[in-house]
Chain A
Amino acid sequence: MLRFILIRLAVAVPTLLGMSVVAFAIVAIAPGDPVMMELRALGVVPKPEDIAALRAEYGLDQPFLLRYLDWLGRAVQLDLGTSIATGRSVVTEIAMRLPATLSLAVSALIGAVLVSVVFGVCALSRNRGVAACMRGLTILLVSIPSFWLALLFIYLFVLTIGWGRLVSDGTWSDLILPALTLGLGAGASLGRVVYERIRAELSEDHIRLAIAKGLAPRRILISHIAPRIVGPLATAWANTFGALLGGVVIVESIFGWPGLGQLILQAIAQRDFPVIQAYLVFMGLIFFTMSILADIVVFFTDPQLRRTLSDD
C-alpha cells in the first residue's frame, strides 16, 4: 500500500511541474496588462517611470522563463506572490475563500451521491413507468446548464416563495440552493454510472445465484452489488468533485457565495496574474489529490488489484 502511494506521488512531481508550466504560460500569453488596466480604471496620469516601476514590482518586465523559475522557487515555499488587485498574499486570498468553496463542493457532492443512488436504482425498477421517468429526468437534469437552473431556483425559491436570499454571507442556510443547483446535475450524471454499474453486476454469475437463492433485492443490492461497485464509483466521485470545483465559478457568482469561484472571476477580469496562476495550480493539485484518494479506495475495495500489487 505504502509503495503504491509512493509511486503515485513520484508520478505526481512531473505532472505538477507540467501543470505549473501550463498554468504560467496560459496566464503569460493572455492578452491584457494588469498595470495599465488598473491605472486607467483609477484615472491616474502615470509617468512612464511609474508604469515601469509597477511592472518591475510585479515582475512583468522579466522574460517568461525567469519569471516562471522565480515563481516556482517561491511556490515550493508556499509563497504564491501577492495579489495585484488587493495587495494581500495569494495564499491568504485562497485561504479566505477555500472553506466556502469546499463546503459548497462537498455539500453538492454528498447531494449528488444521494441523488445518483436514487436515480440509478429507480431507473432499474421493474415498473417501466418509474424507470422511464427516472431515465428521462436524468437526461433532463444532465442537459440543463447550471446557470439556468440557478436562475430558475432563484425565481422559484427566493423571489416567489421567499425561502432563500441572494446576498449570501456564507451561512449554512445560504448553502442549500447553490448546493442543490450543482448537486442535481452532477447527481444525474452519476446516476447514469450507478445504473450502468448495477446493470453490469446483475449479469454476473454470483448475482444470478443470489437471485436464484431467493434473496431479497435490497439485500442483493446492499450486500452483493454495492461492495463491488464502490471502487469504480469512487473514481467517478473523485472526478465529479473536481468538476464541481470547476462548476462552482458560475454558481458562486450567481448566488453571491463567497468562494474561490468569485475570486477567479474577479482575478481574470482584473488580470490579477498571481491569483490566476495560483488558482490553476491549486485546482490541478486538488484534482490530483482526489485522484489519489480514489485510487486508494479502489485499492481497498478491489481484492484482485491488491493481490496484483502484492505479487509485484
Chain B
Amino acid sequence: MKHVSFFARTTAATLLCLPLAFSAALAENALTIAVKQDRYSVDPEKFTFTTRRPAAQIVETAVKPDENFLPAPLLFQDWDYADGTYTVTLREGVTFSDGTPLNADSTIAALKLYDTGKSDFLQIDQDSFEKLGEYQISFASETGSALVIENMTHRGTSLFGPSEDRAANPVGTGPYLLESYDPNQQITVVRNEAYWGDAPYVDQLTFRFIADDNARLLALQNGEIDIIGEVTPQMLLSMPQDGSVVLHESRPIRYVAMMTNINGEAPFDIMQDRQVREALAWAIDRETIASVLYAGRGEPAKGILPGWMFNLGDTHTDGFGYDTAKAADLLEAAGWTLGSDGIREKDGRKLTLRLVAAYPNVSTVKPMPEMLEQMFADVGVDIDLVEVDDSGVYGSTYLDTGEADLYLEFASNNNTDPTYLLNNLFTTTTPWGGYKFFAPGAHVDALLSDGRKAQTRDEVIEKVRAAHRAIVQDDLVAIPILMVPNFALSRPGVDVPMSEYADWIDYGNVTMVNQ
C-alpha cells in the first residue's frame, strides 16, 4: 500500500508538473526582439510604410535578395524581361492566410495596390497587367525600366491579400500570423501552420518597441529580451565585454564617407579643387579609425558600395592609403602653403573647412569627427567642426543650403536597385535636394541615367561601376572612409542568421541553445 501511495503521489506530481514542462518547452520557442520604434503603420493610403520588420513576417515579397543582393525566387517562381515586358511565372501551391490562392488574379490585385499609395516606386504601367494563365502574368514598367524585379526585393513591395482592414487583419503568405498588436508597445506574431514554405523554427516572435538605446541594452542584459535588432554605434561602445551580450554581424554594407561640396559658393568653394579633395583622402588613417569605432568590425573603404553587392567587385576602384607626405604635396601643388600657425594659406585665405557631422546624427560616428579633425590638422587643414544630432537639422540647415565644405555620412544602399544610392546622392537631378552639391556633373548623370534605362542587368552593373568609380576615385566627390557591417545583439546561446539588410534578418529561424 505504501508503494502504491508513493506511486500515486509520484504520478500525480508528474502530471501536475507536465504543463510546466510543456510551457518551458514552448517558452524556448518564443523570442522577444527589441526594435527602436513602431513602424507598423495602419494607414491604407500609405501601406508601403507598414511592411517593415515585424509586419515583414506576415507578408512576403515577390522575390527576395540573394547573398549578393540579386533577386531570387520567392512568390515569383521565375521571370523574364524582353522588349519592355516582364513575364512572370508564379509559385504554385501558395495561399494567403485567409485561404485565397496566390494566382494570377490575386497577384495582379496585390501589385495594383501599390499604385494607390503615394510612394509607389514599382512604377508599373497599370494598364499593362495581363493574365497569361492561372499562374502566369505579364506587365510593363511605366518608365521602361529593367529594374522592376530588383525593386520588388524591397520589403515595401510585399504582396497583401484582400482585407477590409489591413492593420487589424493583414493577409499575407508569410510564415507568421498577427497575434496581437499593442501600438507603440509590442507586436506579436505566431507561426502560420499553413505556411507554404519551410516552417520557421521559432513559434512566436514578439517585437518590443524600446526607443532608448541604453534601455534596449540594459533590457537585454537583464534577460527581458533576447535580441536587439537595431544596434547603434553607441551601444557597441557601451556593450559589456563579459560575454553576457553577444555581437552578431553581417558582411560590411554601411559606408562612412565624407561628401565634398564641389558646387558650393564662397566661402564654401574650396573643395572644387580636386587636389584638395585628394589630399584629404590621403590624410585619413583609416586603419586607426577602424580599430576605434564599431567594435573594431569596420574595414577601410575603397568605395561606398561593397564589392559583394550586385557582384560589383572591388577592382573598379583603387582607394586611398594613409600618406600625409603625399597629402601635403598635393596641397602645396594646389597653392596652399603652410602658414606660421600651422594652417595652410592661399592668397591670404586660410585653409579652413567646415565639416558637418553627421547624417543621420553625430552619435553614429563618434569620435570619428574629432579624429578626422586631428588628422587634417597634421597636414595643415583647419576644421570648423559642426556636430549635429538630428538629420532634420543636418538636411535643412547645412545640406540644402550648401553651407559647409564636408559632410560626414553613415548610410547604406538600402535598396536592391543598383542605381538607387548613386542616383539619389550624386546626380544634379537628385530628389534629395542638397545632394546636388556633391554631383560631379553631366557625365555621372548620363552614366546613371543610362543605367536606369539599360535593358540588361550586365549593362546596368557596368554603368553603376563606372559611376561609382567616378564618384569615389576619379572625380572624388565622396571620400570613402569605412565599410561597416549590420549588427544585432543577443543574449548568449542565440544564433541570429544575419542579413546585411535589416529588414531581411530571418528572426523566425533564429536558433537557441540552452545555457
In the complex, chain A residues whose CB is within 8 Å of the CB of B390:
31-32, 269
* Chain B residue nearest to A261 in the complex (CB): B211
In the complex, whether A72 has a CB less than 8 A from a CB of chain B is no
Contacts of A215 in B (CB 8 A): none
Complex Cα gap A131–B248 (Å): 55
**B222 at interface, CB cutoff 8 A:** yes
Determine, out of A36-44, A122-130, A279-287, the stretch whose residues face the partner at the interface: A36-44
Whether B184 sits at the interface, judged by CB under 8 Å, is: yes
1/0 per residue, CB under 8 A from A, across B21-46: the answer is 00000000000101001100111011
Residue pair B41, A46 in contact (C-beta under 8 Å): no
| B17 close to chain A: CB less than 8 A | no
Q: A151-B214, A167-B225 are in contact. Are A36 and B41 (CB under 8 A)?
A: no
Contact between A33 and B43 (Cβ–Cβ < 8 Å)?
A: no
Give Cα A31–Cα B210 distance, bound, in whole angstroms. 25
A262 touching B211, Cβ below 8 Å: yes
Tell whether A166 pairs with B393 under 8 Å between CB atoms, given A44-B121, A87-B45, A266-B37.
Answer: no
Q: Report the tally of A-B residue pairs with Cβ distances under 8 A.
A: 131
We find that the number of chain A residues with CB closer than 8 angstroms to chain B is: 48
Contacts of A54 in B (CB 8 A): 118-119
The answer for the CA separation of A40 and B232 in the assembled complex, in Å, is: 18
Q: A24 within 8 Å of B by Cβ? A: no
Which chain A residues in 172-231 approach chain B with CB under 8 Å?
none
Task: Judge whether A31 and B183 touch: CB under 8 Å.
Answer: no
Determine which of A45, A53, A170 lies in contact with B185 in the assembled complex, contact meaning CB atoms within 8 Å: A170
- A245 is an interface residue with CB less than 8 A from chain B: no
* Closest partner residue, chain A, to B43 (CB atom): A87
Contact A97–B211 (Cβ < 8 Å): no
Chain A proximity of B488: nearest CB distance (Å): 17
Query: Using Cβ atoms and an 8 Å threshold, which residues of chain B touch A254?
Result: 212, 214-215
Least CB distance from A252 to B in Å reads 9
Could you tell me if B222 and A87 are in contact, using CB atoms closer than 8 angstroms?
Answer: no
Q: Does B208 contact A (CB under 8 A)?
A: yes
A44 adjacent to B37 (CB under 8 Å)? no
A166 touches B219 (CB 8 A): yes
In the bound complex, residues from chain A placing their C-beta under 8 Å from that of B415 are 43, 45
Residues of chain A contacted by B156 (CB below 8 angstroms): 42-44
Query: In the bound complex, do residue B183 and residue A88 qualify as a contact, i.e. CB atoms below 8 Å apart?
Result: yes
Q: Which of B329-359 contact A (CB under 8 A)?
A: none
Mask of A150-166 contacts with B, CB within 8 angstroms, 1/0:
01001000110000011
From A86, A166, A269, contact of B38 by CB (8 A): A86
Flag whether B165 is at the interface (Cβ < 8 A): no
A57 within 8 A of B: yes
Closest to A49 in B: B118
When chains A and B are docked, how far (Å) is the Cα of A266 from the Cα of B41? 14
A165–B222 contact, CB under 8 A? yes
If A33-B395, A96-B183 touch, whether A45 touches B215 (CB-CB below 8 Å) is no
Residues of chain B within 8 A of A159, CB atoms compared: 218, 221-222
For B417, give the chain A residue with the smallest CB separation. Answer: A45
Residue pair A167, B208 in contact (C-beta under 8 Å): yes
A135 within 8 A of B: no
| A-chain residues with CB within 8 Å of residue B163 when the two chains form the complex | none
Tell whether, in the assembled complex, residue A46 and residue B214 are in contact, meaning their CB atoms are under 8 Å apart. Answer: no
Contact partner of A45 (CB less than 8 A), chosen from B121, B186, B393, is B121
Q: Which residues of B contact A253 (CB under 8 A)?
A: 211-212, 215
Q: Out of A30, A51, A53, A82, name the residue touching B431 (CB < 8 Å).
A: A51
Beyond known contacts A45-B151, A51-B431, A88-B42: 17 more, CB 8 A cutoff: A30-B392, A31-B390, A38-B49, A45-B415, A45-B424, A46-B119, A46-B431, A165-B222, A165-B224, A166-B215, A167-B34, A254-B215, A255-B215, A266-B38, A266-B211, A269-B390, A271-B392
Q: Which residues of A contact B (CB under 8 A)?
A: 30-33, 36-40, 42-48, 50-51, 53-54, 57, 82, 85-88, 96-97, 151, 154, 158-159, 165-167, 169-170, 253-256, 258, 262-263, 265-266, 269, 271
CB<8 Å pairs between A and B, sample of 21: A31-B393, A32-B392, A37-B392, A42-B119, A43-B414, A44-B119, A44-B156, A45-B151, A45-B415, A46-B431, A54-B118, A82-B43, A85-B41, A87-B41, A159-B221, A165-B222, A254-B214, A256-B210, A262-B211, A265-B211, A269-B390
